[in-house]
Structure 1
Amino acid sequence: MTLPSLIDLPTALLPFVSRAEEVFLADAAGPTETLQARFEAWPSARRESFARVCAASDFALDQVSRDPRMVLALAEQGLLERSLVPGELREALRQALDACADEDGLAQALRRFRNRHQLRIVWRDLSRQADLAETCRDLTDLADCCIDLTYGWLYPRLCQQYGTPIGRRSGEAQHMVVLGMGKLGAHELNLSSDIDLIFGYPEGGETEGARRSLDNQEFFIRLGQKLIKALDAVTPDGFVFRVDMRLRPYGSSGPLVFSFNALEQYYQDQGRDWERYAMIKARVVGGDPEAGRVLLEMLRPFVYRRYLDFSAIEALRNMKQLIQQEVRRKGMSENIKLGAGGIREVEFIAQAFQLIHGGRDLSLQQRPLLGVLTTLEGQGYIPAQAVAELAAGYRFLRYVEHALQAIADRQTQMLPDGELDRQRVAFMMGYPDWGAFMQQLGYWRGRIDWHFQQVIADPDDAAQAPEQEQTAGWLPLWQGELDDETACRELAEAGFRDARKACERLQGLRNGSHVRSMQRLGRERLDTFAPRLLALLVEQSDPDLVLERVLPLVEAVARRSAYLVLLTENPGALQRLLTLCGGSPWIAEQIARYPLLLDELLNEGKLYNPPEAPELFAELNERLMRIPEDDLEQQMEALRHFKLAHSLRVAASEIVGTLPLMKVSDYLTRLAEAILGQVLSLAWRNVVARYGRPRHRDGSLCDNAFIIVGYGKVGGIELGHGSDLDLVFIHDGDPVAETDGPKAIDGAQFFMRLGQRIIHLLTTHTTSGQLYEVDMRLRPSGASGLLVTSLSAYREYQNEKAWTWEHQALVRARMLAGCARLGEDFKQVRDAVLRHPHDNGKLRREVCEMRAKMRDNLGTRITAAGMGANAFSADVPFNLKHDAGGIVDIEFMVQYAALAWSHQHPELLRYTDNIRILDGLEQVGLLPGEEVRLLQEAYKAYRAAAHRLSLQKQPGVVSGDQFHDERQAVMRIWRKLGLC
């Protein structure tokens, strides 16, 4: 919404303008310095603004009447027509307070300063020279400097009187921390806000340097009392800010000031839901800023939970109900803050999403409401149209709030009932009359309330009566109120094949130790959730199977009942959970092990449509950028959650058919590449911080001289669910030259420790599992070789020592992450090694020998690895990967062809995946198109079956009567190539 428009002054307001002008006409000073002369020298635009401001605001008219020279000085200093620069307000107040000799002088200086700048802010707001953002910022800056500089004035004087408070543990001087809450904390103060404060101090102890010491708490209580009095007391000059301390622990009945430990303990043990909402906006506004940062970090876990916290919705409903009861009791429906569609509802919407998701999505850990709304849109939590309406409606209501408070500098959000003030509000908002204004106000309140209801709608609403009735029908069975026979009959009639087994499973959950030890609130949540679960289960095609798979998840999250609230609050997410559990026990096990994955079920569009590679890389980079560079634990958790979430999206998309096989492998491979790139970056930064940068052979410092090379499935862009990573590390630094850090080590040690760090980041188990299993045995000399190899040593090994099977593996090798220049050098080494001419007879023999060893060790014994006479019978297994005619045969043929013919056809080395290498063999005429298609289709069919079996947590084995045509075609082409 834009600024309210300017309209002509209503006739009813003209007498106020005359009264204001008379102030200047009544002055009796000399002719050259009269107020009248100075006033009449104003330009017409300023005179017009003066008329608008004094007509609309009794506060402004009163300030002009009390001190006309103040408004003239503001005008002549240009402060009415320009924005203040950062720090200007603080410096002006500092100079004013420096001249104060005692507390009476402090009080007077503060109030006169406040009145001067309050008038300036009201003037600029009502004359439309400042928008909402500037007005709120100026008011907040005014409060900030008044609080902090008053504290700075009082603290040394109390230390002189009572001694300096000293920490018992640290032995250091202690300062108080002043937390600003609510609109003050969010830089959103309105024209007549009170300020909500909480006082804290770092640690207990006593004062030193005075005849009688005081306990630190007693010292800071006295300091807090004086600070409140300096700001809040009403004197002939008015007040500075009304101070409200009721948000502190225990409210008005608690101590005025708490130690950090006491604050942490209170919020941990007794903090209530509304206090979490309040603490979202907490900001250090006075005292020791460094200690304040420590305090806010201590309190962060209370506000933002690491898991999804849909219990925030319950708390929001309860809070809203209490507010509505108060509104009705006090007749406050015309309150634009607390009434339906008011400011508080927009705040609740934003804060609900912050509390639900903010523990994991750090972008939501911010204070200004409009910034939160923008983030909610950008992160896909709320549609753009909804955010646009909420933001526009919120701005409109805040302008209305300013208009109401500008009249008399009174904290009110009630619409006026007097005709004069109604005319003033309509005028300030740019409407010709009260009716036109109320029509627009009604529109925005209606839109806000509608969006609010969408967010906090209760699944048990009367609008959902049929579903509610269906759900309630399962409550007696769940709570054990039915005898076994009746319960089994109901389950059988609902579609369960083995109703008795289903009944036993439900009883096992209900009577299990996890449930019996639940607290009352958790049990209530489970009793609400279980009937919903049963109502949706009976709609599944195989409710027995889905129940078997989903109950371990329910048991796993029973003690963390916020997850039950998530599924209760989001029936669509529960439906998707049951669909995916029915489709894959692997998915069911993953979600049961890592319940944070339930978050992914909330957005159906994202769940079944994973992002393309550029968005994938950008999303991971953005997530890690929100985490401090030195917080390795959070970075590791973020990487693991990212991998879990996107792996789930791929599996879900595969189950519902929105992602074909080749895309599944592509996506899982790109996911690994994105993670490896970030892991390398983290490891490099960590090792450099400890040892400094290594050097190139020419002596220059390395910023990036390392690559991660992928072999096998990751190299061939064929990763599956749960695949490990075959990796090789290569560097191009000087192994002898020392690093430039304080703990210098030689280059060889640096790169070895870098490799170790990468493996540590990838394989360490945290609460979110590990990233990947890593296999380093394909590096030069295998397990006995160096963990990290220089490029020159790698080249030498491949040319002089590598076995044929190692060259076969090299066909599928490619750089995954690291230095682009070194990656290109590696590719040239790879291509040169693979293009080296081979004795084809010897090559065929060695390939066949390696294949025979693999069949003997890994193939199906009872069918002679698929080569026996019984290999195609239904009662014997066929190993999709290792038996004759299977996946490995196709891979070996491709690798043989690349080694045999790439010296003549280097284009065969362009790609590392089997499908595109086969395309290349057709393009250069080495294999006919029909045979290429047969091999490609067989390869894809085998891999598709292996993927499906993986999602069912089954080995890659099918019955021998499957894939007859594919197996025979592969074996025929194998023989045609002269392979044994």
Structure 2
Amino acid sequence: MTAPGRRSSTFTRLLRHGFTDPSAAERLLAGEELTEVRSDPVLLEALGATADPDLALGGLVRLLEAQPDPGARRGLLDTLIAAKPLRDRLLGVLGASAALGDHLARHPHDWQALVTYEPQDLHPGVTEFERGLAGADDPVSLRVAYRRCLLSIAARDVCGTTDVAETAAELADLATATLRAALALARAAAPDDAALCRLAVVAMGKCGGHELNYVSDVDVIFVGEAVEGADEDKALRAATRLASHLMRICSETTVEGSIWPVDANLRPEGRNGPLVRTLSSHVAYYQRWAKTWEFQALLKARPVAGDPELGAAYLAALQPLVWQAAERENFVADVQKMRRRVVENIPVSEVDRELKLGPGGLRDVEFAVQLLQLVHGRTDASLRSATTLKALQALADGGYVGRADAVQLDEAYRFLRTMEHRIQLYRLRRTHLVPEDEADQRRLGRSLGLRTDPVAGLNREWKRHASVVRRLHEKLFYRPLLDAVAQLASGEARLSAVAARERLVALGYADPASALRHLEALASGVTRKAAIQRTLLPVLLGWFADSADPDAGLLNFRKVSDALGKTPWYLRLLRDEGAAAENLARVLSAGRLAPDLLMRAPEAVALLGDGDGRSGSGLEPRERPPLEQEILATVRRAAGAEQAVTGVRGVRRRELFRTAAGDIVSSYGTETQPAEADQGALVDRVGAAVSDLTAATLAGTLRAVVREGWGDDLPTRFAIIGMGRFGGHELGYGSDADVIFVHEPREGVEEREASEAANRVVAEMRRLLQLPSADPPLLIDADLRPEGKSGPLVRTLKSYAAYYRRWSLVWEAQALLRAEPVAGDEELGRRFVELIDPLRYPADGLGDDAVREIRRLKARMESERMPRGADPKLHTKLGPGGLSDVEWTVQLLQMRHGSTRPGLRTTRTRAALAAAREAGLIEAEHAGTLDEAWVLATRVRNAVMLVRGRAGDTFPSEPRELAAVGRYLGYGPGHVGELLDAYRRTTRRARTVVDELFYGA
């Protein structure tokens, strides 16, 4: 016995050899049968060389104990001591895989499968594995034989006899042999079925690509045909029974566990489609119905079992369709969208540990390689490999991927796949999550050859390789475009001009020749500016390609870069602040309005990089007080009214860009921030921002006019009252400013003098705001004043009171529901509101005659103002269920109940609708329907202005513009039809509510 507190020499040696629990190991070694292990330095050293010496020793003890007699134990130990190949392979497996240790304990003779040493250049294939499975005449014995074969694969893997690609290929060959054996068992169990049909098993996914994992679903597709003279329906039913039996043999759990699940969900129509189809049925489906991802999946199709001629015919019929997939509309967008969907479905708690599906994971490399294959494999047959690493090498050899990039990705992919293999090998469970437990990470790190601080080394190497993969779109898809035009370092493989244009077309660029010219202008040369552009452009090209108009995005980026290229902060901002570059790309490719604003004030690019681009101050609309303060300061500094209004327009231009850019980024989302989910909040934010900006602009223009004409002593008090959407804080990008003007002579000033001054103010404001300019116009519309166009532009408060007392019509009272002071004398504005409140919220509500008049006016407006040839169901303002329907319904409720329900006394449509719901004047479901329709119609109007640069109440007819509107509203490429359907559906429901509440139907 070792004295307490003292460590034995064995304990010390075990600690030195990497055992983490040397006390437990010492107790195991104390057994009589392990005397030679304890005393043999070679065996202890071999145990210490394994991934987990404690696990290896425990597995060895169990294997020795399982031997049937002392002679068998003696033979195993003697062979271990004498034969280094067996020692390394057996202990290597026991130290890496608890599951295979369990298998050896249950089948103690299977260690002899590792005795035969295989030289470096000899690797088994399907034939050898079929021999290894021979004699398995039931599912249980097949599982045992399968694990025995797996044991030899794992031994070659952990000892380095095979690399990760060879191991994956051996696993795929073993799966092929297993499928054949399982089909043979199924045929033997149902000879009558076997006699009726021909059945081919086509491997897909990693099995088809000769790159299988230790534990993975084996994806297959079944093709069946009737034998000559047999009825086709009966033959297909027979083939389906055989296929189902094959799947059960491999998938079901027995006392020996399961082999792996056979997954047939990649078949046409997925799990909803028939399990077995004829060849002609397969071809018909792919020709007519298949989606892009299904052709991508066919890249790895490989007949592996069953009727070889039928399998070959399947491949011959469908392979040509694979290489036409890149010609499909929205091809690249579909592939990229599928990749994003995969990432989005990862649980948040697992995304940072997800080795396969997460950002920088294996699937990123595989998707990028497959995308390039589908684009360029149409004309280059050398790219048509089903194996990722072979395809990557072919892409590098052909100049489609830079050689240095290909080498880095090859290394990263091999490292990540090896991690995946070793994680799965431990328990033989299907997982792609990096373990969190330190002991598991230690074993994993040691299995990868990281012996000095294996946990830290593992995490360091994993993150390094993942960061390389994370840039895969830059490295695999976009950078070669620059190599094709920018004449980078010699010796680097480049795309030909034809291949570069081909790739741009696949990305959605309609004018690849112009795109290449832009790239050349931006990235050619040896200047620092060109070098930074070469770093930025690969990422930007991907973001442009994700938009509805990549050409416009790239062209606009060139224009901005030409304008700001010599500004030191511009490229540095884009390079160093990731949000700024992505936000700029989204804004430049989203339509005309925001880029046009930016072209006239390129320095506003700086707004895109402030904060995080969304919640930070950069793209957050400014509050009205500081905004108005800046505008009034601009007016004070100006030499005259025209110069002052020019300065005010400059502030308006910048702030309009800020609002539009924030709207686009929030609506489209970015890689780091998803699109904003609350569409109503987006609409409210834009409406409030544009309304505040318009009010501040009018306040500044008013101050400029008064300052130039009267100093600070205008002979009358003057106020501007916002009406319509302006008064309701609901202005869109292209809205006019509906206003009325009110004044009141100052004490001692005659009314005539005051009136002349007020009219001069209005005329001069309108003149200044209508001076020719490239900025979006700000039109003042005063047609809602008393007597409309026939009445005076400006009245005294007393005149308004007299008019409303004697002549006011019901429509004028309705129009006043949205009246709110926006600029000028605050006290006068407040008194105007006090004057009109009794009109818009009548104490006795509305009489029947007034309600009928409002309904008549509404019906007349619908029939007279609808543009000729317009589709009423898609007209956002006047169409059924559109803005007018919702607003008039809400306003009728306000006029009827506003005098007794204070919550209804608001100029804002959505707030009034919410108040009506809370007051029980409208059912919650009806209120939700109206709100949804109003928000959607407003979003469409905003989108049309952003996309076209001019206002419109209908959806654009030009396809790219319509696609851009759809993108803003959350409908990706190819889904514009769904947008139109959703709009019709939403407004149809709203119109039903309007018919009930407004028309009393």
Q: TM-score, normalised by structure 2?
A: 0.44
